Amino acid sequence: MSGELTEGVIKVIIREVGEECAAKGQAVSETLVAFMVKAVVLDPRNEFNVDQILTKRDVQHLIQLCVTRLLDTTNPSLSTIKMQVYFDMNYANRAELLREQHRVLEGRLAPLVRDITDSRPRLQDEMMKVYQMIVSYMLLSSGLGSPTDIEVVREVTAALQSIFPQTALGAFISLSKKEKEQQLKNLAMLVTGIRLFNRECGKGGKGVDDLPAILNEVLPSATRTIEDSLNTCHELAHCYTALLESMHEDQHRHRQLSSFKLKEALFNVRQYEAFLCILMSDAITVAQEVEKMNVQFATTMEQLKNTVQNKVSVDTKEVFPLFVAICNMWTGFQNELLLLSFLSNMTNNLQQFLEAQSQLFPEEVLTSLLEGVTVKTDEERIRETMGTRVNISDFENQEWLFPETAADFDQLLIQYHGFCAYAIGVKGLTLPGNPAIGILKHKDRCYVFSSKESAYIFAQDPDKFIQLNVEKAKEHAELIHLLELHHHFEYLAPYTQARSADKSLMKPTTKRDSSTQTDTHILPPSIVKSYEWNEWELRRKAIKLANLRRKLTHAMQTDLSHLRRENSTQVYLPKDVSTQTKRENSSNVPRPQIFLAGLRGGSSAATRMVKVDLTRPVDET
């Protein structure tokens, strides 16, 4: 099947799956449908082969399977996939989020900036209008106060007039477009710094919120919310892990619990835990940045107060950099507040993907299932294995890493998100690995284990257990993202590319252009220009040299010639010009002929020159 035809089939499948789900009252996004199609095709139990052409019957079967899984809202696996798609589509790190916020702000201010930079005022009213637009830009770019509040506008106008009076508008208009834009940004930072300084002195600051105080109040609450969600998530993960272990140990328990979808529930809470850890890390970074900026802001403000000290006039070279620094730090407070709000929204929105947990395992049901079962936390499991480690001498061809042998031990990239590489494929459990047991480095990838026994079994045939983990991920597609197994499924579109629904789910034909080049001269050139292969040419050169040996060049100079030199002049050649008149006529004039005699000198020392005019008279011609 050609690539275009394959993409067309995939588009049809996604569209039909979405339409059927919508007809049954379940709205799904194209991204979710595309990933579900990928999950169904991957599952070996569905017997799809990505290397073969999908028949019409296969397409209908694929559509029905996708619709069935998308409508099963009680399945934790669907909730996990929805959570992964949501997080991938909405999460952004600090740099990306701030870059997007800056782009949005510039987009909002672009029309106003264009009006200011493109204006060519001539009359006084037009000048006033441009100045008012500059005031609006100062207010909107800072985000301090409402542009409809008259007191705020007056305060911004007063701050602007102190550094940029209306009389300076003429010089501003004469600047180029880029220079105008840069000056607007500089003025905005200075005006913001002046307003914040006035607010600190109690002389202004209308509409300016106390961002440091707000952040100090909101940060503990946001961090506590994430911590509470993490604790709940940990408790559920420990309970599900204990129940799954009891199923492997007791066949009666296996029959009793096999219908509860415990593995899917465990993968759901583990993925939720992973996302919460990312948000917690970002929240901690926000807290550290806020703490650092609080100190810097207080120090800079105190330095500015000491510089001004109720002076009537202050050197701009001293205070302007301080105003700009205060503005930049206040912008940093605004950014951290934006990041904190984003993290809080992400935390709240992720909670909806745990609803299937409460439906499958209400508190009383989970309590009854845990009777007689020992629940261990991740910390307890790691603590139990702290005294054990693998013996390197037992493995000749395997490389093991330990804290004392690896300089960057804590920075190693552990596979499977730090879970035991043996328990995933064999037991279907996500047990925390203990690096102290030893990290196995196999084919440039590092693996950890939950026990010494698991490490020894895995090390006997790592490729076998790695393939078992891949097969387990095919059965439970949510493990691809949870265990970071994208490199095993490179022929399938990752989440970030699944936003465009035209991505092919079939393995494409591998094609590429290649070329090779051989150097013409590998060694540096050593060509002798004087070399001749022709014997007769060599003879001619020999005869020349023999003749030159008998040749001499003579030269002499006399008293009359040593001061002479060759001269050359350049003239414009005459042009042929002709005109035509009604009457033809001609005339002939005598050609001047003058003869100068005696120029070559004579027997006497003095030169006597005789000039003879031989030109014929006009009447003789």
pLDDT (0 to 100) of residue 290: 94
Alpha helices in 505-611 (DSSP H): 535-549
Lowest mean pLDDT among 16-20, 263-267, 280-284, 485-489: 485-489
Residue partners of 593: CB distance under 8 A and separation at least 6: 613, 614, 615
- Which tokens is 159 given? 């701050």
Under the banding of pLDDT at 50, 70 and 90, the label for residue 342 is very high
Report the length, in residues, of the chain. Answer: 621
Report the mean per-residue pLDDT for the chain.
84
Percent of the chain with pLDDT over 70: 89
Name the pLDDT band for 167 (thresholds 50, 70, 90): confident
- Residue 447: strand pairing partners: 440
Instruction: Pick the closest to residue 197 from 314, 339, 338, 337 (CA basis).
Output: 314
Indicate if the pLDDT at residue 490 is higher than 70.
Answer: no
Token pair for residue 213? 């105080």
The pair of structure tokens assigned to 257 is 């619990």
Lowest mean pLDDT among 215-229, 390-404, 477-491: 477-491
Q: What is the pLDDT of residues 365-410, one digit of tens each?
A: 888 888 888 889 999 999 998 888 898 888 888 888 887 777 777 7
> In this predicted structure, what is the pLDDT of residue 292?
94
Give the pLDDT band (50/70/90) at residue 512: low
How many angstroms separate the CA atoms of 620 and 614, rounded?
13
Helices (H) and strands (E) in the chain, counts: 21, 5
Q: Does position 414 have pLDDT exceeding 60, yes or no?
A: yes
Would you kindly state where each structural domain of the chain is located, as residue ranges? 1-71, 119-201, 211-370, 378-488
User: Tell me: the pLDDT tens digits for 492-501?
Assistant: 444 444 444 3
Amino acid symbol at 423: A
Q: How far apart are the first and last CA of the chain?
A: 104
Above 80 in pLDDT, residue 332?
Answer: yes
275/267 Cα distance (integer angstroms): 12
**572/86 Cα distance (integer angstroms):** 85
Residue type, 617: P
Q: What span, in angstroms and rounded, lies between the C-alpha atoms of 345 and 139?
A: 28
The DSSP 8-state label assigned to residue 594 in this structure reads E
570 three-class SS: coil
pLDDT at 6 > cutoff 80: no
Give 464's pLDDT tier (boundaries 50, 70, 90): very high
All residues at 6 or more sequence positions from 612 whose CB lies less than 8 Å from its CB, including other chains: 594, 595, 596, 597
Q: Which amino acid is at 237?
A: A
6-15, 344-353, 582-591, range with the lowest pLDDT: 582-591
Q: What is the pLDDT of residue 499?
A: 41
Q: Residue 608, exposed/middle/buried by CB under 10 A (0-12, 13-18, 19+)? A: exposed
> Which element (helix H / strand E) includes 442?
strand 439-442
DSSP 105-146: HHHHHHHHHHHHHH----SHHHHHHHHHHHHHHHHHHHT-S-
- Per-residue pLDDT averaged across 185-206, rounded? 88
List 611's β-bridge partners, or say none. 596
What is the Cα–Cα distance from 454 to 471, expressed in whole angstroms?
A: 19
Both tokens of 567, joined, read 């001269």
